A and B are shown apart, each in its own frame.
Chain A
């Protein structure tokens, strides 16, 4: 009898300890995957995007078209990758893999929104500026005040005079001219803390309001990163963009996604599943 009581107690304790986390672990097998391709963008900041002689799609953007609207088709991105790897747009050198898919899943409960990224970050990068982290995974959410937020994803924060851009000083980070982004990042270095930051006039790697947590692991050659952030509100569709710094890349030498939308109990490119 004592043994049974003990077992029950132990079980009860375990359940009690596990209960607060029970909702924090969606059954990802039941959450659909949406492949989002990330690609090496070279030097194509928002100034480039909005200059017609550089980017013929500028006219489309002015009409309200999104990057995805023109560039994502048949499960891939229709960029001229030769041009993106050319010296003019990538003076330092392009990574061996121009584009790869990231499987994105999302789920939510009353308190939180969970985003799971699964990807194989390929080697063959050119810039290895981040010695500590082999991989970093970042999600950014623009607010409604960011210019063209729903169209351009992270691009409104990407400027020609930011650090690691050709000829730019080392001081400026990502920044916005209006509005702000919320930023969360997972770093692969052992013991590295998840970043809960913002991008406004400058990028801050702390002081964010997402309550962001991140866990990641590498199994064989596949990374799985799970972000937890506070639920933005059921029924909302929020814009977001991804960035993966693979192979110790730093600064602009990331692979990024275009701007997508995430529906929390609402329509979106990625639909979060209610837990």
Chain B
């Protein structure tokens, strides 16, 4: 067995006498495209709502709350799904986020939030992580769809219009005010988070 592996390794390292460099490059290119495409497709699959709610921790808690909000159902039918808010769009930030998210598998294995009670006990901590992430990137995922430039405050309710003017003057970011818009607010929020 060990001899076979050593043989294969030796064959791989040996310059090819049989195949042209062009043939090898073409093959490598095609294989690369397939590999890359496959990798991205798999990663995109983890960006779908179906994937997110395939775990009961998401399906039974935050998903149920989100279903009652405007980001799930609205007049025009534009829906923002889990990844639209929680995963960056551009590739480099996305892959970083996905690597970070793999740590959540450990939580899944350990059953950190596998009951409603456990979820509620951890809700504030988890929410604080996500708020900190959103604030650190100036609410980038919100701004994929929303912007102050595109906002017509005249068409907003007075209370929103006035608050958005204050927010612009004070260079606030979306998540400074819009916490708990798609999921229930945790109990015991700190004043500086409010």
Count chain A residues whose beta carbon lies closer than 8 angstroms to a beta carbon of B: 16
The answer to whether A70 and B158 have CB atoms under 8 Å apart is yes
Spot the interface stretch: A59-67, A95-103, A112-120, A192-200: A59-67
Instruction: Return the CB mask of A87-126 against B: 1 if under 8 Å, else 0.
Output: 0000000000000000000000000000000000000000
The answer to whether B163 and A60 have CB atoms under 8 Å apart is yes
Give the shortest distance, in Å, between B135 (CB) and chain A (any CB).
15
The answer to whether A53 and B159 have CB atoms under 8 Å apart is no
| Nearest residue, chain A, Cβ from B189 | A53
Task: Give Cα A63 to B165, complex, Å.
Answer: 12
Task: Give Cα A59 to B180, complex, Å.
Answer: 17
Query: In A39-66, which residues have CB < 8 Å from any B CB?
Result: 51-53, 56-60, 63, 65
Question: How many A-B contacts are there with CB distance less than 8 Å?
Answer: 37
Contact flag A78-B191 (CB < 8 Å), given A56-B163, A56-B177, A63-B166:
no
The answer to whether B189 and A78 have CB atoms under 8 Å apart is no
Is A177 interfacial (CB-CB < 8 Å)? no
Is A12 interfacial (CB-CB < 8 Å)? no
The answer to whether A52 and B162 have CB atoms under 8 Å apart is no
Give the shortest distance, in Å, between A115 (CB) and chain B (any CB).
27
Instruction: Return the CB mask of B176-188 against A: 1 if under 8 Å, else 0.
Output: 0101100001000
The answer to whether B185 and A78 have CB atoms under 8 Å apart is no
Is B171 interfacial (CB-CB < 8 Å)? no
The answer to whether B166 and A73 have CB atoms under 8 Å apart is no
Residues in B with CB closer than 8 Å to A52 are 191, 194
The contact of A69 among B162, B179, B180, B191, by CB within 8 Å, is: B162
Task: Give Cα A70 to B156, complex, Å.
Answer: 11
